[in-house]
């Protein structure tokens, strides 16, 4: 009641104005608190969104690194395969050359063996002829 006595000299309009001002301050304060909470939530959502984007960027970078490493391994493996293929080609060429030499030696050896067989046959015929002459006497 003492509050009413304070405003009695100014009239009921002042009392209504003060009450209206208090109500406006109350709701204004509520509005500001809600506004701050909304801004805080929005900031948290933005932060989470940025964290997700950063996580996606990091994940993409990790996949790119892994793909680059895998491509490097594949390239190294291909290089080793190509080197191995070249080595096998060289080996096969040397085997073919060696086979050609062996074949030529075999042909030469067969020709010599044929010649020796003819000589042995000739000697056998001569010895046989001489034996027949000796035994025929």
Give the Cα separation of 3 and 7 in Å (integer): 7
Tens-digit pLDDT profile for residues 65-75: 999 999 999 99
- pLDDT per position as a tens digit, 44-70: 999 999 999 999 999 999 999 999 999
Per the CB < 8 A criterion, the answer to whether 39 and 31 are in contact is no
Where are the chain's structural domains?
2-103
HSE, side-chain direction, 13 A CA sphere, residue 67: 6
Look up the pTM and report it: 0.46
| Residue 133 vs residues 120, 121, 123: alpha-carbon distances, Å | 20, 18, 15
């Amino acid at each position: 009641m003492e509050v009413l006595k304070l405003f009695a000299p100014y009239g009921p309009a002042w009392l209504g104005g003060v009450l209206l001002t208090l109500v406006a301050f109350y709701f204004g304060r509520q509005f500001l608190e809600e506004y701050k909470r909304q801004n805080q939530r929005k900031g948290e959502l933005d932060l989470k969104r940025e964290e997700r984007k950063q996580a996606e960027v990091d994940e993409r970078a990790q996949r790119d690194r892994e793909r680059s490493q895998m491509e490097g391994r594949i390239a190294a493996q291909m290089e080793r395969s190509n080197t191995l293929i070249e080595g096998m080609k060289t080996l096969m060429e040397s085997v073919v050359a060696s086979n050609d030499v062996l074949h030529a030696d075999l042909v030469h050896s067969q020709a010599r063996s044929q010649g020796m067989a003819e000589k042995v046959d000739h000697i056998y015929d001569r010895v046989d002829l001489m034996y027949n002459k000796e035994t025929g006497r």
